[in-house]
Amino acid sequence: MSYNFLLVMSDQHVPFASGAYGGEVAQTPNIDALAERGTTFETAYCNSPICVPSRAALATGRYVHETGNADNASPYTGTEAPSWGQRASAAGIPTTTIGKLHYRSTEDDTGFPDQRLPLHVREGRGDLFHALRENQPPAIQLRDAVVGAQSGESEYSLFDREVAKEACAWLQEKADEEGPWLGKVSFVTPHYPFTVPQEYLDLYPIGKMMLPRNNEPEDWDDHPAVDIYRQLCGLDSPLTHEETLRAVQAYYGLVSFMDAQFGLVLDELHATGQAENTVVLYVSDHGELLGNDGLWFKGTMGEDSVRIPAIMAGPGVPVGKRCETPVSLVDVYPTVVDVLGLDSNPHDADLPGTSLYSLAQASEPEVRTIFSEFHSANSHTGSFMIRYGKWKYVDYREFPERLFDLEADPYESTDLASDPNYASVLERMRGELRTICDPAEVDHRVRAEQRQRVADFGGVDAVLKRPLMAYSPISGG
């Protein structure tokens, strides 16, 4: 039997900023209600902690070193690998997206013929600033985005209000049609700008906000890759406590704002009588570092950056379950195929993911290898992450590798890579990585391709002459 499938996606939502994941600060009643009536995946990851690559991996069910969508200036075009939208459309299932996609253009055949309020990359190209890597100057506009936290409406909050409104209208349309159908509703908050409608800012009195973990410079993680990220974001000079707290307050306010828009969509799903025949999956494209170790945004292999929420509810999904099997965004493709009851396809045979629908229903958790990689802005070298059991391993190519025991050390404060007592674990993790890719080859290939794109545009100086922007404008311009 097949069901409708509704994927709801936010941007830059770290799991602990929700009650569903044990957060004690964030007020997220709608996300929490979805978790109560469904299954929460305790350990979920993005496959690249930045927008374009993460969304390409979600669409294709493949890692970005396979598709070539390595940075925010290499958007998905539909030709790199088939999308689950193409699979569903080919089967005659109506497929609609509302809101942010961050592909190249509505003109491309990405498998989503009905795009409403689509948000794609800037000028159909994205920002080549992300491809500069070792030639990139500090992105001071990112620091400005943090210290500029304020109350009010931004183009992002206004956009998300329209996305929720359009999603509700679309659900009313679907109520009069026979299913199954496939839909994706994608919000841009809680991604910065940190401009928050006052009613949501008021939920978080500044006096009750706590400073982030390892807030003082002497406590910062000083791994070279992390230091470079901090410097290139313009964050190597610490923020004042007031600036930090106001940014934390703003982020939580945006989380609650996004949750409210999500709630409107869920309410309409129930009001139109479609909830009983619709599987809903909530995810985000990556997390938010939220000031921990003096870091903001994403783009590192820290847990706050690569971890995401993943919550599923609907027919056949266990109620109130906490699924301990680790998952990632490449699992969405087989999930869509599974829920919609699509016929098998030879293309799917080598997909790395597994249906979240079947994982949720499994009686015992599975041991799986989860993979993430990063090749974009604010980094001088590729980074490759493996999560296997309690272990987390990161290969940085040009910098020391890292190993953490996340059960004993969830905040990654003790790097075990140089401890001879863990030599066998380290070797095991290296082997797990190499079953997925050759990190040296991938890093070399991606960087060569990025240098070529920059050269084709006219060189580093030509890239830097373009207006630098902290986030993608709604207009795409």
Residue-wise pLDDT tens digits, 302-328: 999 999 999 999 999 999 999 999 999
Q: What mean pLDDT, rounded, does the chain reach?
A: 96
Which amino acid, 46?
C
Mean pLDDT to the nearest integer, 21-44: 98
Mean pLDDT to the nearest integer, 450-461: 95
pLDDT of residue 472: 84
Mean pLDDT to the nearest integer, 132-146: 93
Buried b (16+ CB within 10 A) or exposed e, 281-308: bbbbbbbbbbbbbbbbbbbbbbbbbbbb
Single out the residue of 341, 329, 335, 342 nearest to residue 357, CA to CA. 335
Query: How many whole angstroms separate alpha carbon 334 and alpha carbon 256?
Result: 30
Enter the tokens of residue 400.
Answer: 């020391």
Q: Which helix (H) or strand (E) holds 435?
A: none
Enter the tokens of residue 273.
Answer: 């009588």
Instruction: List pLDDT tens digits, range 277-294.
Output: 999 999 999 999 999 999
Single out the residue of 115, 267, 92, 94 nearest to residue 173, CA to CA. 94
Query: How many whole angstroms separate alpha carbon 226 and alpha carbon 236?
Result: 10
**Long-range pairs, 220-226, Cβ under 8 A, ≥24:** 220/293, 220/294, 221/293, 221/295, 221/302, 221/412, 223/399, 223/400, 223/402, 223/415, 224/396, 224/399, 224/400, 225/300, 225/379, 225/380, 225/381, 225/383, 225/396, 225/399, 226/293, 226/295, 226/300, 226/302
Angle at 91 between CA 87 and CA 94, to 5 degrees: 90
Mean pLDDT to the nearest integer, 164-183: 95
What is the percent of the chain with per-residue pLDDT over 90, rounded to a whole number?
Answer: 94
Instruction: Find out whether 147 and 234 touch, Cβ atoms under 8 Å.
Output: no
Instruction: Find out whether 185 and 167 touch, Cβ atoms under 8 Å.
Output: yes
At how many degrees (to 10) do helices 155-174 and 241-271 cross? 10
pLDDT of residue 362: 97
Mean pLDDT to the nearest integer, 55-76: 97
Query: How many whole angstroms separate alpha carbon 316 and alpha carbon 266?
Result: 18
pTM of the model: 0.97
Mean pLDDT to the nearest integer, 79-93: 96
Residue 125 has pLDDT above 90, yes or no: no
Categorize the per-residue pLDDT at 193 as very low, low, confident or very high, splitting at 50, 70 and 90.
very high
pLDDT of residue 476: 53
Categorize the per-residue pLDDT at 1 as very low, low, confident or very high, splitting at 50, 70 and 90.
low
Enter the tokens of residue 161.
Answer: 């209000």
Residue 453 has pLDDT above 80, yes or no: yes
Residue 177 has pLDDT above 90, yes or no: no
What is the percent of the chain with per-residue pLDDT over 70, rounded to a whole number?
Answer: 99
Tell me how long the chain is: 477
Mean pLDDT to the nearest integer, 153-182: 96
Beta bridge partners of 38: 313
Instruction: List pLDDT tens digits, range 240-254.
Output: 999 999 999 999 999
Which amino acid, 106?
T
Residue 477 has pLDDT above 50, yes or no: no
At how many degrees (to 10) do helices 332-340 and 51-60 cross? 40
Mean pLDDT to the nearest integer, 39-63: 98
Categorize the per-residue pLDDT at 427 as very low, low, confident or very high, splitting at 50, 70 and 90.
very high
Mean pLDDT to the nearest integer, 454-474: 89
Instruction: List pLDDT tens digits, range 203-247.
Output: 999 999 999 999 999 999 999 999 999 999 999 999 999 999 999
At how many degrees (to 10) do helices 241-271 and 140-147 cross? 80
Buried b (16+ CB within 10 A) or exposed e, 355-376: bbbebbeeeeeeebbbbbbbbb
Q: Where are the domains of the chain?
A: 4-363+451-465
- 4-363+451-465 — its CATH code? 3.40.720.10
Residue bearing tokens 């989503």: 112
pLDDT of residue 473: 84
Query: How many whole angstroms separate alpha carbon 151 and alpha carbon 128?
Result: 31
pLDDT of residue 32: 98
Categorize the per-residue pLDDT at 70 as very low, low, confident or very high, splitting at 50, 70 and 90.
very high
Residue 395 has pLDDT above 70, yes or no: yes
